Amino acid sequence: MNAPLTSSETAGLARDAAGALLAADGRPVADDFPILARPVRKRRLAYLDNGATTQKPRVVIQALDRFYEQSNANIHRGVHWLSQHATDLYEEARESVRGLLNAPDSQHVIFTRGTTESINLVAQTWGQGLRAGDEILVTGMEHHSNIVPWQLLCARTGAVLRHARITDTGELDLADFKAQLNARTRLVGVAHVSNALGTVNPVAELVRLAHEAGALALVDGAQAVAHAPVDVQALDCDFYAFSGHKIYGPTGIGALYVRGAILKDLPPWQGGGDMIRTVSFDGSTWAEGPQRFEAGTPNIAGSVALGAAIDYVRGIGLDRIAAHEAALLAQATEVMQAIPGVRLIGTAAHKAGILSFLVDGIHPHDLGTILDTEGVAIRAGHHCAMPLMSHFGIPGTARASFALYNDLRDVDALAAGVRKAQKLFGV
């Protein structure tokens, strides 16, 4: 992801008086998202739970409808026109993922249900080669999806899961990360962006250090791909996982990039139709490339709609999106810090559009409930990052997370809701 944006870069954005990001025709991009026009609690919806899932633009909704209305058929095995047409759409979506990640070949892209399934796929295929005493290194800010699959793998193989510490600002302790790497490290798993703090990790450097130690590197890109350009070739990572619903696509679809030389040697992880070359009662042989990992009928419509979401985001421009969200985060940080009793959790120098905080005397769940009465949707809890919360000695936080359709009115609504909660609780 990019370096922190300068004030001149953010000032040059095409935005309206409310700070809304504008499309090429001058409309706020929020107009492309039908759900944002729906009032909540008789209030204008300020949707700030984008770290959990993003809303869907009209083109994605239409892509789903159009597939089932005009293109529905099973793929790869049919000789009739509809099957071939659906196959073409499915593989075009794979090419859209390749373009998003700048992967060298679409055959390095496996469709999965999302980041969690992608990481489990790696654990259950590549992980078959682990032996007792081998080590996997993650960081202290990982989502449970980048912890639990490795714990299960270690329990099966006798390998050891280690984690590198984070600092009190929510940044990775690079010295501790380097100290944890050793000749036994087989894989490094790291979030590109922390879902709980917004910290942007120095992924290219971490991948380089992993490779120098003889380990592979997996990047959890769930919170990165919708917010700034990603280039897996520049990162030089071995695996990169993301979820479609975090980049304005449907739920239940995502992708895993695997470096070509590694993909070639991975065993299949699920058996069934379409992942085979031949089957007999004496044994079976496997398909080449990503099909080896896509057993059964996949989420064809979801893949097509994911392709539409990717095309939509790239059409707006990920650099523009990053600048817009950086401006919103800067404004929200300033406004929230000015409210007495608010404490920010995670103050890394390089952050994406996530603001986690606590309000003295108010439990995050109570705060989230009061904000909801004002039409403000945030997330409250441990954000599937319980070890991270333990590091800070807290059960959870309130988290506001920004997307391309948010604007300064959402920031103002968040701040006003916090002040109302303080008044109600007398703090």
**Active site residues per annotation:** 384
Mark out the alpha helices in 142-198 (DSSP H runs): 148-157, 174-180
DSSP one-letter string for 369-426: HHHHHTTEE-EEE-TT-HHHHHHHT-S-EEEEE--TT--HHHHHHHHHHHHHHHHHHT
The encoded tokens of residue 261 equal 């030389």
For residue 68, give the amino acid letter. Answer: Y
Phi and psi at 56, nearest 5°, equal -115, 130
Bridge-based pairing state of the strands 216-220 and 185-191 = parallel
Q: How far apart are CA 92 and CA 94, in angstroms?
A: 5
Token pair for residue 180?
């944890």
Task: Of 75, 72, 104, give the one whose Cα is nearest residue 88.
Answer: 75
- Whole-number Å distance between alpha carbons of 385 and 166: 13
Residue 296 CB partners (closer than 8 Å, separation 6+): 270, 272, 273, 274
Question: What is the 8-class DSSP label of residue 26?
Answer: S
41: left (phi over 0), alpha (psi -120 to 50) or beta: left
Q: Contact 227/351 with Cβ under 8 angstroms?
A: no
Q: Helix or strand or coil: residue 228?
A: coil
Tokens of 113: 């249900």
